[in-house]
């Protein structure tokens, strides 16, 4: 005779199998995406309302029965709303109406037989969360935090529903979809019932005193130490601190390293500060650790939509299982590394021999790898490549035994020999420490001026830019000064009516070196230059020249990060916490180039449009 527990468990298993089968059967077939709807969704999630309005397919109105409307910077469904069973902040109305329009674009594409890929719905959901969070900016203090929390909660449940629908078009539920929902609900209810009935039966059949003794014995034999409640809570706090207040989206490896640092630091701080009191008793400890585990699950539920929204807002894919698995693997590797170091240090009298073998082997392997600067990719020397529009490009690389003054003369002579002084504009491009000049900005200059621009550059170092910035900045300034003087000396030999306009462009360390040669608006070099353009200048510094432009990304840590972040807020609307803000700034600096153009320390061809010209 079967018991209630057995029957419940069997029915739950059957419901789970049915749910899995219906989920697989309900996946929509692959289709060729409708290009019009795809372009409209891309424009909608990029934040360009005018471009989104122009990209809406012509037959959308006839299909959905309304005309999308512009509301400020958003293109929205005028009849849309936040479909929530609980009241949401009033600021969410605009993002919700925009999200409804996005879903209608998905429906329109499906109606035409060109359903969009799953990434389209993922981008729309992430854009909803990001827009809802941005709408909370006008609030202050606790109200702002409450509003932002509701944005993350709403985004989480939107994603749950999207995942349930396979991230496909939100069409009316068919019989298969409704059956999967019923089977999934039955699985959850049946699983809960199985746990309850199993617990009741186990409670009746097990002697509590004997069970407690067995648990204590099992914990004593467990190979890994059971954490203290304070340590576990500190680890969860460190996890939350590794998510916010970051300003830049990170890859999984960098995020894993940041999480490992925050978790490790939090555990160390709590271990040093907590009073020397006995640990909780078994029952109280289990309850407390259960609460900490629930907090960890809540933190992950908040982090998933928050990180996805941050990444998708700049054109990166959302986080997924692989991303989180990589983060976990990095954290686990860091934990194992620390444990191994502690083990080795405790046995340092005998462990030095295998450690020396590993170190020597590693040196032998890595010594055969490429040295920075020895192998140069073509895009790292864009001025050595021919211009597609007939513009002049000249670049003087470093040569053995050549001083900066001679190299600058060679660059200027090449410019004259190539006909650069016969063009309307001469741009002196100051490279970064490794000699790199942004090819996108060079392309933007040539797109703007065509063949009437000549770009000249000179390499002053072959080290990574951060090394040059810290210990070789004088060499960068000296090289920039020499090439500027060499070029302007030749410009002065021409009649005033034939002289080209001279401009200076620098990015990152190139901007710092370029600014240093002027010294102020009244100097000789300031009078000889028409305009200057800086992209991503460290610290956001300016010189104060009449025609000076600086292009900075809002999330560029090279521009915004400073030592004061350790103890003082940055002075803008960016979230900040003492010490933690500086840790995030350091991580942002490491990952500042691992993002799409227009974010971090990546600048595109559009920066060239900011270069001023002279009358």
Tokens of 613: 């010209």
Please write down the long-range contacts of 518-527, taking CB distance under 8 Å and 24 or more positions apart. Answer: 518/543, 518/545, 520/544, 521/545, 521/546, 525/484, 525/485, 525/488
CATH number for the segment(s) 35-168: 1.20.90.10
At residue 132's C-alpha, the angle toward residues 128 and 138, to 5°, is 155
Domain 35-168 and domain 378-556+592-610, same fold? Reply is: no
Domain definitions of the chain by residue range: 35-168, 219-369, 378-556+592-610
Task: Judge whether 107 and 64 are in contact, CB under 8 Å.
Answer: yes
pLDDT at 274 over 80: no
The DSSP bridge partners found for residue 501 are: 425
The CA dihedral of 217, 219, 221, 225, to the nearest 10 degrees, is: -160
552 pLDDT exceeds 50? yes
For residue 436 the two structure tokens come to 């790199």
The mean-pLDDT minimum among 125-129, 160-164, 427-431 falls in 160-164
Condensed to tens digits (0 to 9), the pLDDT of residues 565-601 reads: 777 777 666 777 788 888 888 888 888 888 888 888 8
pTM higher than 0.85: no
Q: How far apart are CA 573 and CA 560, in angstroms?
A: 12
Element (H, E) at 235: helix 229-243
Indicate whether 55 pLDDT > 80: yes
pLDDT > 90? residue 535: yes
What's the confidence (pLDDT) of residue 611? 94
The token duo for 46 is 């990029």
Conformation bin of residue 11: beta by default, left when phi > 0, alpha when psi is -120 to 50: alpha
Separation CA 327–CA 258 (nearest Å): 9
Match 């003794």 to its residue by tokens: 213
Determine the length of the chain: 615
Averaged pLDDT for residues 60-81: 87
Q: What is the mean pLDDT of residues 466-472?
A: 61
pLDDT for residue 20 is more than 70? no
The strand pairing partners of 418, in sequence order, are none
Residue 542 Cα distances to 478, 532, 599, angstroms: 19, 10, 21
For residue 245, cis peptide bond before it (omega within 30 degrees of 0)? yes
3-state secondary structure 535-552: ECCHHHCCCCCCCEEEEC
Q: How far apart are CA 599 and CA 119, in angstroms?
A: 21
The residue among 24 and 538 whose pLDDT is bigger is: 538
Confidence of residue 410 (pLDDT cuts 50, 70, 90): very high
Q: Between 141-164 and 282-312, two packed helices, what is the crossing angle to 10 degrees?
A: 80
Q: What tokens does 222 get?
A: 């467990």
- pLDDT band at residue 40 under the 50/70/90 scheme: confident
Q: Of the candidates 444, 448, 437, which has an alpha carbon nearest to the alpha carbon of residue 396?
A: 437
Cα distance between residue 519 and residue 522, in whole Å: 8
- In percent, the amount of the chain with pLDDT more than 90 equals 17
pLDDT above 70 (res 358): no
**Do the Cβ atoms of 101 and 78 come closer than 8 Å?**
no
How many of the other CB atoms lie within 10 Å of CB of 133?
25
Instruction: Yes or no: say if 451 and 423 are a contact pair by the CB < 8 Å rule.
Output: yes
Q: How far is CA 239 from the centre of its chain?
A: 17
Contact status, residue 181 vs residue 173, Cβ threshold 8 Å: yes
Q: Give the ranges where 493-529 is alpha helix by DSSP (H).
A: 509-516, 524-528
Q: What is the DSSP letter of 222?
A: -
Q: What is the pLDDT of residue 378?
A: 41
Fold of 378-556+592-610: Rossmann fold (3.40.50)
pLDDT tier, 197 (very low <50, low <70, confident <90, very high otherwise) = low
What is the maximal distance between C-alpha atoms in the chain? 109
Q: Where are the alpha helices (DSSP H) in 520-608?
A: 524-528, 557-560, 580-590
DSSP, res 241: H
DSSP state letter for 218: H
Here the tokens at position 585 are 């700034």
Position 549 scores a pLDDT of: 92
Q: What is the pLDDT of residue 364?
A: 40
DSSP code string of 63-90: HHSS--EEETTEEE-TT-----SS---G
pLDDT higher than 80, residue 241 = yes
Provide the mean pLDDT of the chain. 79
**In this structure, are residues 469 and 512 in contact, taking their beta carbons and an 8 Å threshold?**
yes
């Amino acid at each position: 005779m079967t018991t209630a527990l057995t029957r419940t468990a069997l029915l739950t298993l059957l419901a789970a199998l049915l749910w899995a089968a219906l989920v697989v059967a309900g996946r929509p077939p692959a289709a060729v995406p409708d290009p019009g709807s795809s372009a409209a969704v891309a424009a909608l999630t990029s934040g360009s309302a005018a471009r989104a309005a122009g990209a809406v397919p012509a037959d959308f109105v006839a299909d959905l029965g309304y005309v999308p409307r512009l509301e400020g910077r958003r293109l929205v469904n005028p009849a849309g709303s936040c479909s929530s069973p609980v009241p949401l902040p009033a600021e969410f109305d605009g993002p919700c109406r925009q999200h409804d329009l996005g879903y209608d674009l998905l429906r329109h594409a499906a109606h035409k037989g060109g359903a969009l890929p799953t990434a389209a719905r993922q981008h729309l959901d992430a854009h909803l969360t990001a827009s809802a969070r941005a709408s909370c900016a006008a609030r202050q203090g606790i109200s702002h935090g409450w509003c932002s929390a509701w944005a993350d909660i709403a985004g989480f449940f939107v994603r749950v529903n999207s995942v349930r629908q396979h991230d496909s078009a939100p069409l009316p539920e068919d019989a298969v979809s409704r059956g999967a929902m019923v089977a999934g609900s039955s699985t959850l209810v049946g699983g809960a019932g199985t746990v309850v009935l199993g617990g009741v039966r186990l409670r009746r059949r097990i002697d509590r005193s004997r069970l407690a003794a067995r648990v204590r014995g099992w914990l004593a034999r467990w190979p890994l130490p059971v954490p203290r409640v304070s340590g576990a809570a500190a680890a969860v706090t460190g996890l939350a601190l590794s998510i916010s207040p970051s300003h830049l989206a990170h890859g999984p490896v960098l995020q894993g390293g940041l999480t490992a640092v925050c978790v490790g630091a939090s555990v160390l701080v709590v271990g040093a500060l907590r009073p020397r009191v006995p640990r909780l008793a078994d029952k109280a400890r289990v309850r407390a650790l259960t609460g900490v585990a629930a907090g960890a699950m809540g933190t992950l539920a908040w982090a998933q939509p928050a990180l996805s929204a941050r990444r998708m807002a700049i054109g990166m894919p959302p986080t997924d299982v692989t991303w989180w698995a990589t983060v976990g693997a990095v954290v686990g590797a860091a934990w194992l590394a620390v444990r191994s170091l502690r083990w080795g240090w405790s046995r340092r009298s005998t462990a030095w021999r295998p450690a020396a073998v590993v170190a020597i082997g590693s040196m032998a392997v890595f010594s055969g790898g490429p040295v920075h600067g020895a192998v140069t990719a073509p895009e790292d020397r864009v001025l050595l490549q021919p211009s597609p529009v007939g513009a002049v490009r000249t670049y003087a690389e470093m040569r053995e035994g050549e001083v900066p003054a001679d190299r600058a003369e060679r660059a200027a002579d090449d410019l004259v020999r190539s006909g650069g002084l016969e063009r309307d504009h001469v741009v002196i491009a100051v490279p970064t420490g490794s000699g790199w000049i942004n090819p996108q900005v060079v392309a933007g200059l040539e797109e703007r001026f065509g063949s009437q621009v000549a770009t000249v550059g000179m390499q002053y170092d072959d080290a990574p830019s951060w090394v040059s910035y810290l210990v070789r900045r004088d060499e960068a300034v000296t090289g920039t000064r020499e090439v500027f003087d060499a070029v302007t000396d030749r410009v002065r030999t021409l009649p005033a009516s034939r002289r080209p306009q001279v401009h200076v462009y620098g990015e990152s360390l190139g901007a710092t070196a370029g600014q240093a040669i002027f010294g102020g608006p009244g100097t000789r070099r300031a009078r000889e230059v028409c305009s200057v353009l800086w992209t991503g200048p460290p610290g956001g510094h300016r010189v104060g020249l009449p025609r000076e432009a600086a292009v900075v990304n809002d999330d560029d840590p090279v521009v915004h990060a400073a030592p004061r972040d350790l103890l003082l807020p940055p002075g803008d609307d960016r979230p900040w916490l003492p010490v933690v803000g500086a840790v995030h700034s350091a991580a942002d600096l490491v990952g500042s180039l691992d993002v799409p153009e227009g974010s971090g320390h990546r600048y595109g061809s559009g920066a060239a449009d900011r270069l001023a010209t002279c009358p």
